[in-house]
Structure 1
């Protein structure tokens, strides 16, 4: 068993006002609906329990389930980190969304996230596994962005 990671950082200028972008990014049901592989997100106070469908990684199929502790600074920042009381979970995600106003009335949005996943694979497989993980995360980001733009009426 080894831990593998993938990181993604991206940003985008949106035409929508910050309040609309914030409303979308803090709606767990919407996030589950517009994010590939995510089947549900259950909210229990400050904790969001994410469930994902099966994702194949080099002959191993994983169906991640992980709990994130969410911290919200209204319309400015969403910080999320893996729930330290859940060491039994094989997947953990840490990250931050930042929102800021644009001069044209729109919103600049950025995200920086890192995913760590324990898999029943040897550490020697790290380069290949992490390459696949990066591709999956990039794909998820592209589809999420497209769906978010559609939800906001920008696509």
Structure 2
């Protein structure tokens, strides 16, 4: 197994209140519905287990599943870090955050995340795998943003 990672950052001013955005970001069912390739998110206290649909990476079909410890700072920040249950090994992980702040025309929403996958591919394939992962992450981000705006019934400022 070789470990591969890709990351992304995004910011936008959304014509909605912090509360409206927050209510969606802290709802695992809403996040699962808005995020492409996510089958379900199961919350167990401050731990969320994410189950993804099958993704193809260089001819290998993977269905990542991972557990994140969620830390919520009410209406300001959500941090998530990989925290699998004791005694288990997960071959995928996500680390990152969402941040909300006031803006003239609504709410400034920023996000940062890094996705890591352990795959049965040689290290020499790193450039191709990382490019594929980055493309998938970009597509997921674009569709998540559109779905979030649709759910809120609004647009970016």
- TM-score norm. by structure 2 comes to 0.95
What RMSD over aligned residues (CA atoms) do the two structures have, in Å? 1.0
Post-superposition offset of 1:117: 0.3
Q: Hey, which bits of structure 1, 4+ residues long, moved more than 2 A? A: 84-87
User: What does residue range 80-119 of structure 1 map to in structure 2 within 5 Å?
Assistant: 80-85=80-85, 88-104=89-105, 106-119=106-119
Match of 1:79 in 2: 79
Secondary structure of the residue that 2:89 maps to in structure 1? coil
Unaligned runs of 5+ in 2: none
Residue in structure 2 matched with residue 143 of structure 1 by the alignment: 143
Query: Which structure 1 residue ranges, 5 or more long, are not aligned?
Result: none
Shift of 1:154: 1.1
Report the counterpart of residue 5 of structure 2 in structure 1. 5
Write the deviation string for residues 19-59 of structure 1: whole angstroms up to 9, x where unpaired.
00000111100100111000000000000000010000001
Total equivalences in the alignment:
154
Q: What is the DSSP-based 3-state SS (H/G/I as helix, E as strand, rest coil) of the residue aligned with 1:98?
A: strand
Asked if the contact 2:5/2:114 (under 8 Å) is kept, the reply is yes
Q: 1:40 to 1:84 in 2, by over 3 A?
A: closer
